[in-house]
Structure 1
């Protein structure tokens, strides 16, 4: 069957749902294709984000667990940074994504689940539609604009020749678990060889009895299996798991996230990429949901306006200019810090997390969010001249 829309969105994650909502709200006829059986059927992220970002994006507080304290564990060190007010959060990922889906549906977008985009259509070099396998049969959609929100796979961008495979990326495995008791206000990152050869492990609480325990591995620095590493951490009850009491997994999450900075190009004639497809993620803790929603909405707005110009590359250029002006420099600075972290030995990690000990919670949050403004880094270096803050300052700004 053939259908005509103004915009086809590929991918039902936060970027695609946000794009579908804003484009539909602007008056565009929008269809969104999600390959899984349900929105957020398969959770592929640990859901860490920041309360100020969620508030500015209108995400209800009922959809996340607030975090005030930040703990770091290395082979011979243990640091707690305590805050007076929660600034980070752990999202109920499934509920958050479905909240975004309802907003998109309310705005008028058509959402098709278990619908896999298998190819694209092109005319004179421009993307002009998609072909999808849906529960109702194969479907051809003609449209001036396709928004690639397919995540790590960048399926449309690759088919269109705008993007290649990611060379550097993170792969993570995580169990969502019942546990007897956890500090619901504290998330923990664990570093060192026993946790991850090139990455980190984590304990992110959703409540005092529900936590996400996972391991992330950087590629190509390590070819270790994150699930195998996670099982070892659980079996050995490595710190801080030793204090959680009974741990019983109830869900397994597994996913990939790009880790080499923004795509060189995120727009072309008839095509726009957003979220992980475009490389919109923070390399320090490999989180990007806030960027996905923010830039998804921007993509939908600019995309709807571009329809008057047949979604030409020139009419989509404002999207790329805006999002890169907002975060490209911050992501680049975060990559410099991360490149140093990737190769640290256990002894070096013991010293490294000692750097964090004297930071305030606010200083730490600005740093780990990759909020690397010159003013904030100068302030950090001034307050901690005897620690590594000055080194980080020089490394980030030079």
Structure 2
């Protein structure tokens, strides 16, 4: 009988997406780490539309070659439109594959071993306090990894947590389908979001990419609806909606993308002794538009640095610092955002028309904050006052009309 292929390391990271790779890239060089990734290569297939923000990419030192800057954004409902021409922060569309591979290269430069086409099976804690993790490698590279710590960066599957009976998969999640076409004559710095009939229980997008493509997609929430995002996207592409949005599609589909993200209330529990979760396993996707890459990179990097300190000192304090930092950054925003997400997932055409019309009355900074799900007390107050002012004006107009009649 052949001997099993067993590797040992300080940290095993399950998942080679932006969160797992950022953890790996931030670990000290004297910490041994292994990343196992189920796909054949990093960054493929693409499972996200790749929307983010210029200020965050600059703060995270992401090379400008890996994103496309958006100057204007149009938001359409069935009967309303809001136009945003950005003067301060700008949206960007990421080269998802290029970004993930850049993160992977950074991790490998620190000595991290990355095993692709390798699927997590199960893990258990042994008597000596370490973890024995069974994996299935199609390339035949490894069969077991023994580690001191294990990071669950497996995405919405929460594979490690479920294996150790520490938590379930999310019961509510977003599902997105996206087709890529040649950019053609479309403006490379203009993006579109659409809601209403063309994307019930969610929203749709038309994004130009850094490699001169056009991503067109639809995302919806399950189980709030049993609609198929693929059927919705196919119907949208056959309709005249793109013409109304001032865009065209040329040629055949170049690539099809699809993925899922959690859409649940924020859970502050991220550290379970020597097991830590990060990324979509920890619900790191904003509750309004499901943007998660920048959050995964920022807090994945933080976790890598805190893990290094925990290994050096033997203290769990540093990991609890990571948990507390995530809670400070996300808990309130997610509490407000998830409540809004649940409400708008049931919107009809008239509701979306009203919401898009309201956006037109907000300033640029407030719209950006809403899209990023950054709900400061001042923003919530200004939004409520704006709604109250709008309703008061309507009541006064009706009252004036009654008096004249």
For normalisation by structure 2, the TM-score amounts to: 0.89
Q: How does 1:245-324 map to 2 (within 5 A)?
A: 245-246=249-250, 248-308=252-312, 316-324=319-327
Match for residue 243 of structure 1 among 229, 247, 250 = 247
In 2, Cα distance between the equivalents of 1:383 and 1:61?
A: 37
In 2, Cα distance between the equivalents of 1:139 and 1:356?
A: 53
What is the CA-CA distance between 1:179 and the residue it aligns to? 3.7
In 2, Cα distance between the equivalents of 1:5 and 1:311?
A: 18
Distance 1:84 1:129, change over 3 A: same
Please say if residues 81 and 360 of structure 1, whose CA atoms lie closer than 8 Å, have aligned partners that are also in contact: no
Q: Does 1:63 align with 2:53?
A: no
Partner of residue 333, structure 2: 330
Q: How does 1:141-180 map to 2 (within 5 A)?
A: 141-180=145-184
What is the CA-CA distance between 1:253 and the residue it aligns to? 0.4
Please say if residues 181 and 250 of structure 2, whose CA atoms lie closer than 8 Å, have aligned partners that are also in contact: no
- Structure 2: which 5+ runs fail to align? 392-405
Please say if residues 145 and 311 of structure 1, whose CA atoms lie closer than 8 Å, have aligned partners that are also in contact: no
Partner of residue 193, structure 2: 189
Specify the SS of the correspondent of 1:201: strand
Match for residue 16 of structure 1 among 10, 13, 20 = 20
In 1, Cα distance between the equivalents of 2:71 and 2:389?
A: 26
Larger Rg: 2
Match for residue 228 of structure 1 among 206, 209, 231 = 231
In 1, Cα distance between the equivalents of 2:110 and 2:151?
A: 17
In 2, Cα distance between the equivalents of 1:85 and 1:311?
A: 42
In 1, Cα distance between the equivalents of 2:100 and 2:120?
A: 20
Query: In the comparison of the two structures, how many residue pairs are matched?
Result: 385
CA deviations over 1:263-291 (Å, ceiling 9, x no partner): 35221122100000001110111110011
Please say if residues 181 and 249 of structure 2, whose CA atoms lie closer than 8 Å, have aligned partners that are also in contact: no
Partner of residue 395, structure 1: none
Match for residue 109 of structure 1 among 95, 108, 112 = 112
In 2, Cα distance between the equivalents of 1:288 and 1:99?
A: 17
Please say if residues 130 and 142 of structure 1, whose CA atoms lie closer than 8 Å, have aligned partners that are also in contact: yes
Output the aligned Cα RMSD: 2.2
Please say if residues 261 and 281 of structure 1, whose CA atoms lie closer than 8 Å, have aligned partners that are also in contact: no
Please say if residues 11 and 33 of structure 1, whose CA atoms lie closer than 8 Å, have aligned partners that are also in contact: yes
- Structure 1: which 5+ runs fail to align? 389-398
Please say if residues 60 and 298 of structure 2, whose CA atoms lie closer than 8 Å, have aligned partners that are also in contact: yes
Specify the SS of the correspondent of 2:135: strand
CA deviations over 1:366-394 (Å, ceiling 9, x no partner): 12111111134345556775348xxxxxx
Specify the SS of the correspondent of 1:180: coil
What is the CA-CA distance between 1:296 and the residue it aligns to? 0.6
For normalisation by structure 1, the TM-score amounts to: 0.91
Specify the SS of the correspondent of 1:118: strand
